[in-house]
Structure 1
Amino acid sequence: MRIKEQIFRNLLLYALLLFATGVYAQESCGLEYCVETALKNSLQLKSDNNTLAKYKASVGQVRSELLPRVNAVGTYQYSFDIQTQMIPAEMFGGLSGTYKEARLGVNQNKSESLQASQTLYNAPLLISLKIAKATVNLECLQIQGTKEDLIYNVSATYYNIQSILKQEQLVENNLRSMNSLVEITDRLYKSGLATATDANRLTVSRDNTSANLRKLRNNKEKMYNLLKILMNIPIDSNIQIKEFQENKSSLVEPFLPVSNPMLKTNYLQVAQGKQIAEMQLKSIKSSYLPSLSFSGSYGYSAFYNNANPMKNLNDKWYKSSYIGVQLNIPVFDGFSKKYQIHQKKAEIKNYEIQGEQILQQNSKEMADAYADLKSNYTSLDTQKRSLELAQKVSDDINNQYKSGLVKMSEVINSQIELVTAQNNYVDALISIKQAELNLSKAAGTLMK
């Protein structure tokens, strides 16, 4: 009987050692690869780049309004009935104060000319060019913000998967141990060396562990699907990320990085939007100013009294040309510009308020992220001590069990506590990586 009990203890201890044994999956793609792939394949970035190309083209379009306009014009006109004109009769010897109807001209008119025009001064147009360039800068900031969001989301998802992988390893080890314990306890129960309560407790614990493992694997699949969406690769792609490896040398005390909240992308976007609104306000005000343009034409005309495009009177073309300038002075527009100015001023004030709100939010996020990082480091120290203590307790219980001083339930409880401590320690390690990611986002250094 003693021999059977000793064999049982040895088998039980061997099975329980599986709690502390890790099984590591084959390494594959790292975080840097996932981020680079996401930035390369992002549909949102492709859309933003197309928008940027559109805004760059709009700069050229506005600039073209400042260049000369040259047109070649040709016309042909045949009048079935020449328009009647009223001419003073005294020109033909008639009575003064009377008029005589007359049809002047010929039925067929032809002309060809080269016409040119040039804007000499148009203040709103000059400001529009600056606005177009500022809009390009705003879209560049939008692209930068999209990249930062993508980097953050990919990194956060990556760390979540690493956490699940670690938890999955621990639960798999726990389940293997539970299966071994159930088999051993069933044999011992049949031999009268274990109670039905021991067997039932182990069966319940094994079933709960199995359900937890299924839940973890389901969450892992969802996280992998999210990562694939962020990377814009087929959802049925088979990818594996690198498992988290503890590197104690990389764990240094947290420090508050130097950061200027006014240099973060979200604030720069608001500042650029305000600048554009201010230029638009200036453009509205400048529309009160006169505009000056130049125009000119050089061409030839020909005439004939019948419908025959190939013939001209006297077989001649008659030259014509002119140059001129046009000055437009706004006088009254029904107060349209006045109300446009009021609207734009209100928009600028909203930008100022939004900028203050973002600065406050940026400062808060920075302080919160730093506080979380310090807290996670403190938690890591606590979990590390708990793990060391749980390991020591487990070793002591195992030694006492070999001597027959404790029951099997105490051995099981000590191993469960050890697994819990291992799990908490892994969570604390990965939480530091996530906190560092949040601090980098708050400091605006995700792109660095």
Structure 2
Amino acid sequence: MKVKTVFSCQNCGCQSPKWLGKCPDCGSWNSMTEEASAPRQAAPSGERSKPIPICDVPAQSETRIASDLGELDRVLGGGIVPGSLVLIGGDPGIGKSTLLLQAMHNLAASAGQVLYVSGEESASQTRLRGERLGASHKRLLILAENSLEAIIAHATALKPTVMVIDSIQTVWTSALESAPGSVSQVRESAGKLMLLAKGLDIPVFIVGHVTKDGAIAGPRVLEHIVDTVLYFEGDGSHPFRILRAVKNRFGSTNEIGVFEMKREGLIGVENPSELFLSERPLGAPGSVVTASLEGSRPLLVELQALVTKTSYPVPRRTTIGVDHNRLALLVAVLEKKVGLHLAGLDIFLNAAGGVRLNEPAADLAMIMAVASSHLDRIIPPQTVVLGEVGLTGEVRAITQPEQRIAEAEKLGFQSCIIPAGNLRRLTKSKIRLEGVASVDEAMQLLMQ
């Protein structure tokens, strides 16, 4: 019997009956690989597939399992939801396996039996890592297995409280003839794990590798199947790690968890604002503090700017942690509306601590950092700067200013520059609030 084959893109999962040099969906070159195609059988119809009115669906109370890792529970929306499928991605060596092994140890001690499937390490290697992290509970079961059918059989027999697959790229199913790690194997394995999680009401964590482009391998395949997608971010040479929710059916998609990597493992950081500002230089031009809102958590972040003469025909605009196009827009506002001449200067902007700022509430702080470095003027170190900047130089109101101001109060800041539109709607505060309606007003106030 001749086996029918298809060509699948290893980046996005697009399939073609013949080989193509360039994927028509994602545009990647030389990513089409020949794989065996297995026909699917139609699922039997039953009572479960009948449509019913939404008001007749039986209600269930939401129960969550606490992992005793406060930062992980925060990102998940308050704990682990039974029957959920959670994908954790990140660069190699960032701490994905360390985080999950610590969480599984806590769950084994408090919730019941836990199954940790290790496809990349042997059981003895996993035990060595567990002893270093203090994860050695008797109810934490280690299974060194790559066959999906064997994993499902063990999980069905044990019915653990939580299960971990580390990693999904090493798991293969005998229903397909393609190699482990291919898009068809990843898709089929993730789909069957989803059915297992929903059928047995077991939360399943799966680890996904990250490609050279910074995306989880097979992103369109995995992210559409799972309930929650978490990205583990950070620099291997930096002690801080940020766990960010990209997709979450059971909570906010903007929450972050902050961890510090130590010898005994990952330790949750309860007050990340204080940690990010601990090494801030006082009295240095180009340094400004702003408050970014990540989900329900306000973070005080230092923005550092450096403006210097260029030795190149085209001046450079380099950013770390902020949007490059946003900086170009704000520099244009400074030149047009304030009158600063920045066309022939290199401008470098950095969000200290490895934080990424994606919201427009940091616009005014970015402008003040660039102007402070260019004019060699010091921004008062006990001042927090907030506000969105428009193309005409106006300072627009921001969301939830109360939480940002409360975080500044907690860390001992004395004043806060906020949009005038927010100041009219705020009650009295312990720190001094100054409202500005334009970039010119902020310049006059801070550059005295």
Q: TM-score range by the shorter chain?
A: under 0.3
Higher relative contact order (CA 8 A, sep 6+): 1
Q: Between Structure 1 and Structure 2, which shows a larger proportion of strand residues? A: 2
Q: TM-score, normalised by structure 2?
A: 0.16
Q: Between Structure 1 and Structure 2, which shows a larger proportion of helix residues? A: 1
Bigger Rg, structure 1 or 2: 1
